[in-house]
Chains A and B, each alone.
Chain A
């Protein structure tokens, strides 16, 4: 029973924290553009407005895919430890999270293709191609971490870093790995240099082109939850988790850094994006993993 309440608490935390941060993110972007920007609660209003509108259906697959995306992402979210708020203490395996996270993307892809709009198909194709780009360097780096810690449990990795103080964070012990992780994180979040799937000026919001009203509201919520999973994973793997307060502070820093970088750069084309991921981050990830496996330096250099 306590697991149930912990899961609800984690969901509520993710909902309020991430949507507040999305509003602050819009404000920060606006300030970088020298605008005033929307208020911090704007994203709550957008979400509730989307749920208050009417909506159309393009068939069963279209409706079911949206629910599958939201449900899959919520299921993933429950496995991500937020500081010391851990729902499944010994089940929060990295592989579980990676497998479950794909359900969200695949549900959305299924639903978008089910809508029959050609822009949606192009957007989904680009999203899955982008996934192919960032997953490989990211997995490579995380395998290095898993090899060094001899465990794939997220909270075990986070706790192992906390025992050694701030210099024990994987961020400082694996400087190449954290660069790869951060670039991959920007790709996962769909932030600006890597926002090919939802390019409004080219393909009219891509996978989201046919969604309006309640469907769009649910997918916006799915995006916020997926962001919480991805940034939470980064904080746990590279910045040592911490208590719930320090977790949220680290989360804030990572998310705002990604926002600031995103607000000053332009967009990659999809082929440039994959080439980029397979050149720089993959090479860095190889070097990082080789250092860890052959010398152990990446892990024990500060010890």
Chain B
């Protein structure tokens, strides 16, 4: 079992981590542009990814609200965790998230990212995403319909514009806590760059 039950996760209060006061004028100005142009990463885990093709193409047309798919994490703004996340994939997700450039957001799809969903007791699947990555928004549903996905993205845009989607700042501020949880989930293998060892 990858998750060691003897080590309890020390939960932190998300409301306490409000970084809104640090927003400067230029950040508020930039947030207007960031909220209207969101590039999502073309990397999906789990079954919720199935709802993204109809969201992108003719019927629900994601480009209408300025969203576009991007092939590489360097260019992307939002990382979608579309469903269950196995421990094996978690390491790739962390690599991907840390490669993204700084105003970056994470959206969790469905109940799997909240509490593990049907994989609650599984040895290979993590049960709560926000122990490992700072999630800005959850979209309800198993799987969420394209309408729900679009409405979730509109909500994310509102949050970015108001300066509430500050997961990336939380990740910097509480990096030690996230890192500890990541290492705990991944067992003995530390999170490192396996391509440049």
Contact = CB atoms under 8 A, between A and B. Distances in A.
Contacts of A56: 74, 101
B61 A37 contact: yes
B102 interface: yes
B37 A45 contact: yes
Contacts of A52: 26, 29-30, 33-34, 103
Contacts of A35: 57-58, 61, 63-64
Contact of B74 (A26, A39, A212): A212
B151 interface: no
B66 A38 contact: yes
Contacts of A37: 61, 63-64
A26 B101 CA distance: 25
B89 interface: no
B102 A53 contact: yes
Main secondary structure of the interface of B (DSSP, over half): loop
A54 B75 contact: no
Contact of A55 (B58, B66, B101): B101
Contacts of B77: 49, 53
Contacts of B140: none
Interface in A19-62: 26, 30, 33-39, 42, 45-46, 48-49, 52-56
A38 B33 contact: no
A30 B66 CA distance: 12
Interface residues of B, number: 26
Contact of A42 (B30, B37, B42): B37
A207 to B, nearest CB: 11
Nearest to A39: B66
Interface string B22-60: 000010011001101100001000000000000001100
Contacts of A34: 58
A115 B33 CA distance: 27
Contacts of B66: 38-39, 42, 45-46
Contacts of B72: 119, 204-205, 208-210, 212
Q: Which of B26, B71, B103 is most buried by chain A, counting CB atoms within 10 A of its CB?
A: B71
Given A37-B61, A37-B63, A45-B66, A211 B75 contact: yes
A37 B66 CA distance: 8
Contacts of A201: 71
A71 interface: no
Q: Which of A42, A53, A201 is most buried by chain B, counting CB atoms within 10 A of its CB?
A: A53
A52 B30 CA distance: 6
A68 interface: no
Interface string B57-96: 1100101101001111111010000000000000000000
Contacts of B71: 200-201, 204-205, 209
B82 to A, nearest CB: 19
Contacts of A213: 101-102
B139 to A, nearest CB: 22
Given A42-B37, A49-B34, A52-B34, A212 B64 contact: no
Contacts of B61: 30, 35-37
A162 to B, nearest CB: 40
A209 B64 contact: no
A55 B104 CA distance: 12
Given A53-B102, A205-B75, A211-B74, A45 B58 contact: no
Nearest to B103: A53
A177 B153 CA distance: 48
A36 B36 CA distance: 16
A186 interface: no
B100 interface: yes
A193 to B, nearest CB: 19
Nearest to B76: A212
16 contacts: A35-B64, A38-B63, A38-B66, A39-B66, A42-B37, A42-B66, A45-B37, A49-B77, A52-B34, A53-B34, A53-B102, A200-B42, A204-B71, A209-B74, A212-B75, A212-B101
Given A209-B71, A212-B101, 10 more contacts: A33-B57, A34-B58, A36-B64, A38-B64, A49-B30, A52-B103, A53-B34, A53-B77, A208-B75, A212-B74
